[in-house]
Chain A
């Protein structure tokens, strides 16, 4: 699915990102950035409650398709600014990680 296909669902709010046609190749959930750095794959949509600035660097480093901040976690302004500067797609949702995946599996059916 493409990022555009995800954000069409109003449960997913696009915070920043100019990449609607980017393909989401997989999904990864993790909040410990050292762990994510060594396990997430290129093209993954990364589900996390971690909103510190460093998430942008990790997403760039691994060439992730987007970051989905779950559970309505409050995103720091600096993180949004950095994401804009690095052209990293940041999406926000009320869903928790499980509900995100559930909603996507429903779409696939």
Chain B
């Protein structure tokens, strides 16, 4: 069993609320500096930087899991992780199609930057990404699992866009692969309250410095994306 330190919720500069220096190379290098073995980059409602990030990661000793933080119709944030670029690109197209057609206002929300693998600007995403999609919670869960991905209720210990805030409580038999917390403060409360769910703790970093130090870990049979997915039961 191999101990792997992780941070599975990191934004790139594609998310308008994230710092513009969250570039492919900066994210990966910072994660390596922090001693992480596995990271996921998870932008709001888009996976358009994943290709470049995976290219950068190839040459380095770190595992990057393609991810995306979807906002459901109800306003709930869900962390979605996929096995490869092909799967997440299919999902990305579906999400894009289901976003309200609104143009981003860079001055208010920030820029949504798509990078090349050398961190140069490729282009900007003009469609506003900080919005609820037209996809309901159960639809998103089904879609992720259809694509053999994993889905977690994002930052349940936060007020904003958490399933607990929006729905009052986690619906019975919700077919998620786990729940995510951000803060250390109430870990034991969550361990008790959400016994039936796998709990992962991630940074939700919007700035390079906020990527987590090596503190959260899982033991994998194999230090690889497959090993990671096997740990969580392979996705349904």
Contacts and interface: CB of A to CB of B under 8 A. Distances in A.
Interface string B167-191: 1110100000000000000000000
Interface stretch (A19-27, A51-59, A95-103): A51-59
**Most chain A beta-carbon neighbours within 10 Å: one of B137, B166, B171:** B166
B125 interface: no
B171 A54 contact: yes
Q: Give the interface residue-count category, chain B.
A: 10 to 19
B74 interface: yes
B131 to A, nearest CB: 15
A53 B168 contact: no
B171 A36 contact: no
Contacts of A32: 165-166
Given A50-B74, A52-B137, A58 B168 contact: yes
B136 A33 contact: no
A9 interface: no
A43 to B, nearest CB: 19
Contact of A54 (B75, B136, B168): B168
Contact of A34 (B136, B166, B171): B166
B199 interface: no
Contacts of A34: 164-168
A33 B171 contact: no
Interface of A: 31-37, 50, 52-54, 57-58, 76
21 contacts: A31-B75, A33-B165, A33-B166, A33-B168, A34-B167, A34-B168, A35-B165, A36-B168, A50-B74, A50-B166, A52-B74, A52-B136, A52-B167, A52-B171, A53-B171, A54-B167, A54-B168, A54-B169, A54-B171, A57-B169, A58-B168
B73 to A, nearest CB: 9
Nearest to B168: A33
Given A34-B168, A50-B166, 18 more contacts: A31-B75, A33-B165, A33-B168, A33-B169, A34-B164, A34-B165, A36-B168, A37-B168, A52-B74, A52-B136, A52-B137, A52-B167, A52-B171, A53-B171, A54-B168, A54-B169, A57-B168, A76-B136
